[in-house]
Amino acid sequence: MAVKRFPFLQHPVLPAWDGHCHLNGCPGRTPTERMHWLLEHAARLGIERVIVFMGYPFVYDPDPAELTRQNDQVLQALEHWHDRALGYCYVSPKYPEASIREIDRCVRDGPMVGIKLWVAERCTSPGTAEIVEHLSRYGGVVFQHTWLKATGNLPGESTPEDLAALARRFPQVPFICGHAGGQWRLGLHAVRSTANVLVETAGADPVAGFVERAVDVVGEHRVVYGSDAGGRSFASQLGKVYGARLNMNQKRLILRENLRAVLRPILEAKGLD
């Protein structure tokens, strides 16, 4: 069979899983409609599967009821798309008990395959450890948003260094360092020596050199593609990997295989692989 190539780019289309998507920023009246829209656009760029987390609108510091409401939106969005979409459960270190209940509902008893920690509280807090400890019973990945903003972080916003400290306490749990800290020149080095942390390419400008540097610093098996769509363009973020001076095998790892490998145990357990 002839290899499909992207027009303009003249690059073969590689199978991709997008490890970072939201229903927020997508048009549609319901979670189902938003998911349909998101997947239509993903498919145009060879993205086979997306991982969605958090509902809409974005809430920095959700209370337990809001966590449940947002997780319900994601569960609804996943309903018709188990072959093409996966979900992480939105939790908050400020409410470890409620978060544990959400993990039981959405991961243990539901289809979700990991958790999303955002900016309610830094991941060095005791609540985070409690939540991660609980998740570790069921497998699944911990996705932690991280930034090192040149303009200053939010009070509850974790840095890659915070994440490395957390991840060292749970060496058997795979962690994803969302945005690679934003300022990736600094973020990559902060997680370099923590082997259970993967760095993620989503949600910053597609500045050339990022993905090559990520491979240099943490190795080709610890870099995963994500976009942060709908707020970000699938294209702008995917272009970081397609445009990188890497070989085809390295691009395949980053676009799909690395994420698939860390999710494999829980996907197999749920019959989703």
Partner 1 sequence: MQLIDVNVWLDYPLPGYEAEGGPAAERLRQLAAMGIIECWAGSFAALFAPDPEPANRELIATCAGWQRPRVRPAVTVNPTLPELDRRFADLARAGVRIVRLYPPAHGYDLADEPFWQAVTLAAKQRMVVQVVCSVEDRRTQPPSVNWPLVDPTPLKAAAARLAAPVVLLNCPARRYGDLLPGVRNVFVDTAMQEGAGVLARLIEQIGATRLLFGSYSPVFYTASNLLKLIESPLPERHLRAIAYHNARRLLQSQ
Query: Where do contacts with Zn ion occur on this chain (CB under 5 A)?
Result: 228
Shortest Cβ 273–partner 1 spacing (Å): 26
Q: Find the part of the chain contacting partner 1 (CB under 8 A) among 9-17, 101-109, 124-132, 156-164.
A: 9-17
d(CA 163, CA 159): 7
# binding residues, partner 1 (CB under 8 A): 45
Decide whether 23 or 131 has the Cβ nearer to partner 1: 23
Shortest Cβ 114–partner 1 spacing (Å): 22
The CB density around residue 164, as the number of other CB atoms within 10 Å, is 22
By CB under 8 A, residue 151 contacts partner 1: yes
Shortest Cβ 214–partner 1 spacing (Å): 13
Both structure tokens of 43 = 């498919």
Decide whether 22 or 134 has the Cβ nearer to Zn ion: 22
Question: Strand pairing partners for 177?
Answer: 144, 199
By CB under 8 A, residue 233 contacts partner 1: yes
By CB under 8 A, residue 169 contacts partner 1: no
d(CA 88, CA 115): 5
Q: Is the distance from CB of 237 to CB of 225 less than 8 angstroms?
A: yes
Q: Find the part of the chain contacting partner 1 (CB under 8 A) among 96-104, 116-124, 136-144, 198-206.
A: 198-206
By CB under 8 A, residue 243 contacts partner 1: yes
Among 5, 12, 209, 247, binds partner 1 (CB under 8 A): 209
Decide whether 162 or 220 has the Cβ nearer to Zn ion: 162
Cα three-residue angle 265-196-242, rounded to 5 degrees: 85
Q: Is the distance from CB of 164 to CB of 194 less than 8 angstroms?
A: yes
d(CA 78, CA 81): 5
Site for partner 1 in 245-264 (CB under 8 A): 245
Q: Is the distance from CB of 59 to CB of 13 less than 8 angstroms?
A: no
Decide whether 6 or 170 has the Cβ nearer to partner 1: 6
Q: Is the distance from CB of 25 to CB of 37 less than 8 angstroms?
A: no
Q: Find the part of the chain contacting partner 1 (CB under 8 A) among 37-45, 68-76, 78-86, 87-95.
A: 37-45
Q: Is the distance from CB of 257 to CB of 14 less than 8 angstroms?
A: no
Helix (H) / strand (E) containing 131: helix 126-135
Among 36, 41, 221, 252, binds partner 1 (CB under 8 A): 41
d(CA 154, CA 166): 19
d(CA 73, CA 250): 35
Q: Please give the residue ranges that form the binding site for partner 1 (CB under 8 A).
A: 6-11, 25-26, 37-38, 41, 44-45, 147, 149-151, 182-185, 204-209, 213, 227, 229-240, 242-245
